[in-house]
Structure formats: C-alpha cells, structure tokens
Amino acid sequence: MPTSFTVVPVEAQGEERDGQRQEEEEDEERDRSSGDGIARESSPFINSAELDRGNMYEGKNMALFEEEMDSNPMVSSLLNKLANYTNLTQGVVEHEADEDSKRKEVKVPRMGTFIGVYLPCLQNILGVILFLRLTWIVGTAGVLESFIIVFMCCACTMLTAISMSAIATNGVVPAGGSYYMISRSLGPEFGGAVGLCFYLGTTFAGAMYILGTIEILLTYISPSAAIFKAEEVGEETEAMLNNMRVYGTCIIILMAIVVFVGVKYVNKLALVFLACVILSIIAIYAGVVKTAFDPPDFPICLLGNRTLSKRSFDVCAKFTESNNETKTTTLWRLFCDSSLLNATCDDYFNLNNVTEIQGIPGIMSGVLTDNLWSTYSEKGSIVEKKDQPSVAGSEETKMGGLPYVFTDIMTYFTMLVGIYFPSVTGIMAGSNRSGDLKDAQKSIPTGTILAISTTSFIYLSCIVLFGACIEGVILRDKFGEAVNGNLVVGTLAWPSPWVIVIGSFFSTCGAGLQSLTGAPRLLQAIARDGIVPFIQVFGHGKANGEPTWALLLTAGICEIGILIASLDSVAPILSMFFLMCYMFVNLACAVQTLLRTPNWRPRFKYYHWTLSFLGMSLCLALMFICSWYYALIAMLIAGCIYKYIEYRGAEKEWGDGIRGLSLNAARYALLRVEDSPPHTKNWRPQLLVLLNLDSEQLVKHPRLLSFTSQLKAGKGLTIVGSVLQGIYLDKCTETQKAEENVKALMGVEKTKGFCQIVVSPNFRDGISYLIQSAGLGGMKHNTVLMAWPQSWKQTENRFSWKNFVDTVRETTAAQQALLVAKNIDLFPTNQERFTEGNIDVWWIVHDGGMLMLLPFLLRQHKVWRKCKMRIFTVAQMDDNSIQMKKDLQMFLYHLRLNAEVEVVEMFENDISAFTYEKTLMMEQRSQMLKQMQLSKNEREREAQLIHDRNTASHSAPVVKASVAAAVPEKVQMTWTKEKFVAEKHKNKDSNVSGFKDIFNMKPNQSNVRRMHTAVKLNGVVLNKSQHAQLVLLNMPGPPKNRKGDENYMEFLEVLTEGLDRVLLVRGSGREVITIYS
C-alpha cells in the first residue's frame, strides 16, 4: 500500500513551536483523530499551564495513560465512588439517572442483621394462617401428615433462601429485591414474567390478610356486626361470604387511602404489628406450659360421638333436675318438636347420651396419640370423636337445623398444602430492604436463614404441641363453635384468649397494609424497567415517587380476591405465584452455578447447584400438589407474559444467566454439528447475502432482503454481509453506522440472521473475505445471493463487472451455490401478494436440483403462495421430447412437487446476421475500452515516475543537502522536448492504427456461437415466460480464459433481456434434493 510522507524543514518546525501556539490549539482535535491519536505538545515537558487548563490528570506520573483517562477513571476515584456507594450499582445505565439525587440524600442510620432482616422476615412469615388455620390443619391431617406438610414447605423456603443468599451476595442488590435478582440473573423475559407473578402473589396475599382480618372481626370479636344474617338453615356460609365482600371492600378502600396519604405511618406501625405477633406466640407457649399443671376449662358437649355447637345453648344436658322437677333444656328443644318430655325427638338424640369432655386436656393427657392420624371428611359432614361410643340412628333424619359442628369444605392432603403454604412466604422481606442495610451481603443470608429456622421451629413445635394439648374435635372445629365461638388457638393461650384474638387482628391488619405498600412499588420497578410496554403507565406516580397508578391497580386486583371471599380459596392462588417466584430464584442460582460465569462470585459459600435444583423441583412439585389447575393457569400467565416481552418488550442486556446458557448451548450445538456437508435431506440454502451500500452507508437494494426473507421464512442460517472500502482504523464509525443501518433494515424486512460488515483496501478482496470466512464451524453458508450489477457498462464503474465475475469464480471454487437476482428493484416486498401468475423454471443443465428446490421454498411464503410452478426443459435434435416430458413428470412425482412440465424443442439453424452484428459490436467495444485503458495507464505510469523522482530528490538526507547547498539543484527530467514530440506522434499513430484495426476486425467464432445460444434461448424464454412473475434460469459459468470476462457479462445480459424478474441460479456441484424418504 503506497504511503505518503511530508517532510517539514527544521526551521519551520521551530517557528511553529515558538510563534504559532494558537494554531496548534485549533488543530489539536484534528491531530487527535489522525495518526496514532496522540495530541502534539508544545514542549518536551508538561508545564503547569497545561495542567491548569486540562484539569484532568493528577501529575506527570500518569502521562502515558492520558488517552485512557479521557474515558476511564483513575483507580483512586473509582474506589472512592465504590466506597461511598448508596443504593445504586456503579455503571448500571438504568440507575444512573438517580445518582445525583442520591448524593444529596442525608445519610440515614443503617440497619444491622437483626433489625433489618431477621425481624421483617419473622413478621412476614408468621401471620394469619398460624392463628386461623394451623389448628384446623393439625386436626384434619393429623400430627404426622401436618408435620410432613410443614416440613415440605419449610424445606422449600430454606432451599430458596440458600439460593437467594448466593444471588444476593453476588454483587450489590439495589432496591427491587427478588424482582431485581431474578431479572438480572435470568434476563428480562423471565424477570418480567416472574416479577409480575410475584406482584400478583403479593397482591393476593393482601387480599388474604384482609379476609383474615374480617374473619377475626366477625367471628371472634363482634359477631353482631354482621350485615347479612342467615334467614334459613344452611345459609350461614353464604351470609358470611357476603359480609366478607362488603367489609373487605370497605377495608381495601380505607387501607388504600392510608397508603396513599402516608406510607411513612405504615412503616412506623410495623414495629407495633410485629410486637403483636411475638406476644401472641409467647402467649401460646405460655399456655402450653400452663396446661401441664393447670389445664384451662373449656368443656365440649358431645351427643354420642358428635360434636355440638354451643352457640345456641348453654347447658350440655337433655334435661335438668330442679326442686325434684325434671325440666327440659334448650338442647332438648333444638332436637325435639316441643319442650315436653313426651315430645317427638330426633332418632339419634333419643338413642345417644349427651356427654361433656374437656376441650384442652393438657400436654400430659396423652391426647397426642389420638391426634396422630388424619381425619379427612366430605363437605357438610359432622365433626365426630373417634373413640366415643354412639348408636347410629335413622339415616333419613335431616341434619339441617340441628346444632352440630359441620365441616364447611371437603378436606384432603393436597388442599391443605395449598392453604398452608402462604404461612411460610415472606422470606424476601430482607432482600427487599437491601438498600437500608449496613452490610447487605452479610445480613441477608444470615438474617433470612435464621428467620426461616426460627419460624420452622415455631410451626413444627406448634403442630406437636397443638396435637398434644387440644382435643381432636376442637382442632377440626375451624371456627371454634364447640367452645362458644372462641378462636381455637386462643383457648390454649395464657393469660386470656383475647391476647391471641387482638394480636392476630392487628398483625393481619399490618400485613395487609404492608402488602398494599410493597406490591405497588414492585409493579413500579417493573414498569420503570420498560420491559413490559403495556404497564409503563404504572411507572408514574406522585412528585415524591409514590406509585399512585400502581396502587390503584393493586387495590383493584386485591378486590378480586375479596370478591372470592373465602380465605381457603384465595390461599392456593397466591401459593402458586409465590412458588413460581421461588422456583425461578432456585433456577437462577442453579444456572449461574453450572455456567460458572466469571462474574459469579458469591460471598455466601454454602450453596450448591444440587440444592438449587432440589429446591426448584420441590417448588414445582408443590405447585401441582396444591392445585394442578391453578398451577397450569399460573404457568400459562407467566408464559404469555414471557412471550409478550420477547415479542414486544424493550431490548435489555443485563448479562443474565439465560443469555449465558444460550451461548453455552450454541457452543455445544456448534461442536456437535459436523463441519462436513449435511445430508441431502437436510440441505437448505444457508445464505450469504451480499449488499451494496451507498456513500451514506444505506442499503442500495432493500428488496434483496425482502427476497431473502421470502426465500428463507426464518429457517436456516442467513448472513447479511457488505464491504466498505478503506482501512479499518479510519472506517470504525462508518462500519458501526453501516451495521446499524443493515440491522434496522433486517428488522423492517423481518430477515432473521446475522450482519457482518468487512472493511478491505478494495471491494474485490472484501467479497473474497466474506465468502471464505463468514459463518462459524458447521454453521457456514452454502449459497451466495447477490444483485446483478446494473451499471456494469458504465465507464466510471468499470471494475463492477470484474468483481462480479470473480465472485462467480470464487463461489464455484468454494463449492457454493450462487443466486443472482436481476432487476431486483422490481421484486415484490413482503407486503405484496401475487393472486395469480407463474414461477417459471428453465432447466437447461442439471445443477443438483437447486432449480426445483427454490420455487418450492418461495411458495411457502404468502407473497408467492398462489403462484403456480412451471418447469421448462430444452430438447435438442436427437432428443425424444415426448419421452423427456414423461420422465420429467415422473421425476417431479417422486420429488413430491406439483408443477406443470413443458419440453421446448430448439432446432439447429443458421446463425443470424443479428447474432454476428451483436457479437461484433461486443468485441469492438471490448477492444476499444482496452485501448483507452492502456493509453490512460501509460500516461498515469509516466506521471507517477516523475513524481517519485522529484520526491526522492527533495527527501535526501539533511547532511547531503548542506554539503551541496552551493551547487544549484537540478532535477533530472525523463522527458526532453524532442522525446515528448516524438512520443506524442508515436502514440497518435499507434492509437489511429489501433482504432482502424478495431473497425476492420472479424468476430471470434467461439463468441459467435455463445451469442447465438444466448439470443436463441432468450427468444424461447421470452415466448413462454415473458409474463411470469419470476423466471429461474441456469447461470452459465464464466470462461476459463479471463480475457473473455467482459464478453461473459454481455452473454448474460442478452440471455435475460426483456424479462422483468430473473433469478440466475448456479449450483454448488452437489445434490440438494432427493426422491428418497
């Protein structure tokens, strides 16, 4: 490559240094972008004036790294920023907008492990299920099965906490908690899907807490506050659900107003709610201890072995003796038609005695053995004591209206798992507060695991203690009807049942408020990430950042849970969403561990991919154990969100594990794909599309990409390549711009593939590089698609035809097929539809079946779907055209291709005068261009020789120049006046004689024959296919003698003349279609 040198005299350089300082400053920017990019200095030393003006370097010790410091910070400043980290990761683009506001914030006291993680997790885990449903679960499932349920759920959360700890300690986790961890570990698609599921789970948890609050209020605190009363027997459940709906709606509105007006008050009250939970649990344990020596007095009334509800009577007896007079009790009147002793009574009532037993016999009573096993029942069945003697009455007796304790729902193991699981959720509370912790990477694992261990111990011990202290029929009495409507767990508490009632009421209120506080912020974080376009409106809020719109949506979704009205029905719904979230936390940890990405360096070391995989499997199993149809619905919702984000969502690059997994899978697949050619049955065109760009780096022929997408339909490999002429160092910006333009056009044309821009000193070599090196391993192109060079005859574009012919030769040498689209700008766009017409194939030479395969692939696309396929072949004098047609039809039948077949006969005839004239004009033009090019080249060569010698004389060494200073400098010219005149006449004579020879020449017979074939074949094709939508033709190969390259272009031009859309096809030399299965 020729290089230019400019020699500046020493004196001029000194003057520039001393007197032209201003000019240097003006040229500084230009100098930076040329040469090696280092700005010139006005002095060998860095003076203080430079330092004051630049104000970016600490001293001359780092002068060598000045260029790097323009864009990269010094280590000292970087460490200073990291040490003063508040709540944002340095360098994360999506969070840097908040950095200025964070700097202005007043430093708040940072929380430690106990206050910041342990207590919030404890408060979120212990809640409504412990107080309202755990005793019922123990009574229904028995101590052993309840233990299994709790152990499974606690094991699930413990394994999830281990995975979460690994993720949370692998770098700083900003605000956003679990959503941030999942999205940054598994990518925006999984992050958005699971984040929204976690949001829905948190929202339904709020509904569950509110329903629990109302249940405590209307059942245990103030039953008279019910608006709807049961008018008839059996309507109690429906009336209670309606009360739930009315009160729930009112409480949601009230809580939403509280959250909207002052969320800070909710946070201040959190400690009060936590105190209520802890006091309630202490009261339970104190009550258990007290039962060992002084059990509380809670008698239960049994009729036979059936439990009676004490809400409607006081005395547990059929009649009483008073003043030697027997009187019937209220209980008698409930079972009999009158208060008289001879009244007609219920059969079962007559046959069985009324007995009274202690509801809480105490821990030393041995009742544990009776409560070990499960007692599942149908809806509406009576709660019975197993070992109590009874006499069966008439089965025809109606149970409705009798004061028995009935079960309100059908019970079975998997249903109980779904109801219980929400009581172990809440393990993310610590990670959600990561920004407020002194040392999040230490506090989150320690606090979360300790909280789960504590709550697991509380739950497991409560199961055993409840089974050991409380009678089985009381445990199965969900609403405490047998103990005067008391909360069952409250009967065990010390000093009073009201401790539990009031404590559980306030704790459920607090949990509901916190759900309504946390869920809108989670939705706001997802919306502000911009990965789910349709929820971006919920990213906005009040001026202080409070998520107003998200709060409204949360209250609306919460209302759906309230309208369901049954705590037992809402609990499995939120179980699904939480389990899905936990499953993906485990998946994220397992994927990161198995990939061993360099950035995966958690401080928490007690994790393993097998534990994460076990946790993920357990979560999935629990989802289907709880409710298989809820699990499928939850997965469908997550799947729809995933596909929506994938299809419409914003592109995010978070360095996630799924992308790393894709890279590993791609690497594994590439290693598995053999580098040898695929089997004929698997062959499909893997395209290298060669595009031409204009001076603005825009694609000249966009229809080429349209045709590519029509031919490929998203299947197989597509590489879109282009060449920029120049040096890469000078063309970096243009290369990036060209790549962006090409990718944008690929997106518009829906061309799925890869873009590759090559910078080369000349266009010809760049095309060669692409043909040789595009692709990777077994995923390499086997077909090259390019546009016909329309301007090849123009003198200013004289090399285009040479590049084209050389490309044809190179694809043949590389054993690759070649497709050349002529008149590409007339090809259809992806939006056009051909309602009729033909795709005509002219099969002149067998090329491995490419001509048969391409129309079939095109007709898969909706643009060409309604076009019919016609195949023409040419018969010579000696061929049997009838037999040829039959054979071709049979061949197409075996290929399973539907096409019309026609054999065109071409007879030998004399070469026409038109062909001679066409050939002669072609050769004359070619010879004239060569003569003109030769004379121009000679003149350019001579002028370059003069320039080189002049340059050599000026650039002699300085020492020699000073010695010969006294002697006048003489330049040795190649031309003298005489030589110039003689050469001028000589050139003139030779040019005249050359042009005379051109006009007297006779055409080459080989060229005449080729032109004859092109003219005749063009006439036949025009006759049959002039109105076809597309014509596919065998492309003849270039001549072996390179002197005939330009004639070759003329032959192809004549062959395709008069046709609108032509695809010239040159096979790769191997079979690409087969008749075998």
Which of these ranges, 291-300, 857-866, 869-878, 919-928, has the smallest mean pLDDT?
A: 919-928
Dihedral (CA of 138, 143, 144, 148) sign? positive
How does the average pLDDT of the chain come out, rounded?
78
Any idea of the CA torsion for 169, 171, 174, 180, to the nearest 10 degrees? -80
The pLDDT confidence band at residue 755, using thresholds 50, 70 and 90, is very high
Q: What is the DSSP string of 624-692?
A: HHH-HHHHHHHHHHHHHHHHHHHHHSPP-----HHHHHHHHHHHHHHHHS-SSPPPGGG----EEEEE-
Beta strands 817-822 and 1062-1066 are: antiparallel
pLDDT of residue 960: 40
Mean pLDDT to the nearest integer, 636-642: 87
Sheet with 354-358, edge to edge strand ranges? 306-307, 299-303, 354-358
Residue 61 has pLDDT above 60, yes or no: no
What do you get for the CA distance between the two ends of the chain, in Å? Answer: 55
**Pairwise CA distance, residues 142 & 144, whole Å:** 6
**Pairwise CA distance, residues 346 & 325, whole Å:** 23
Tens digit of pLDDT for each residue in 672-689? 776 666 766 667 788 999
Residue 959 is classified by DSSP as H
Residue 1032 has pLDDT above 80, yes or no: yes
pLDDT of residue 10: 43
pLDDT of residue 538: 86
Top-confidence range, 123-127, 169-173, 180-184, 1066-1070:
123-127
pLDDT of residue 25: 46
Tens digit of pLDDT for each residue in 328-337? 888 888 888 8
Which residue has better confidence, 484 or 154?
Answer: 154
For the chain, give the longest Cα–Cα distance.
Answer: 164
Tens digit of pLDDT for each residue in 892-906? 888 888 888 888 877
pLDDT of residue 649: 61
Mean pLDDT to the nearest integer, 714-734: 88
Residue 931 exposure: Cα atoms within 13 Å on the Cβ side: 19
Residue 530 has pLDDT above 60, yes or no: yes
Both tokens of 528, joined, read 């502000």
The pTM score is: 0.70
Which residue type does 884 have? M
Task: Pick left, alpha or beta for residue 109 (phi over 0 → left; psi -120 to 50 → alpha; otherwise beta).
Answer: beta
pLDDT of residue 1037: 82
- pLDDT cut 90: percent of the chain above it: 23
Residue 852's contacts (CB-CB under 8 Å, 6 or more residues apart) are 841, 843, 871, 892, 895, 897, 1073
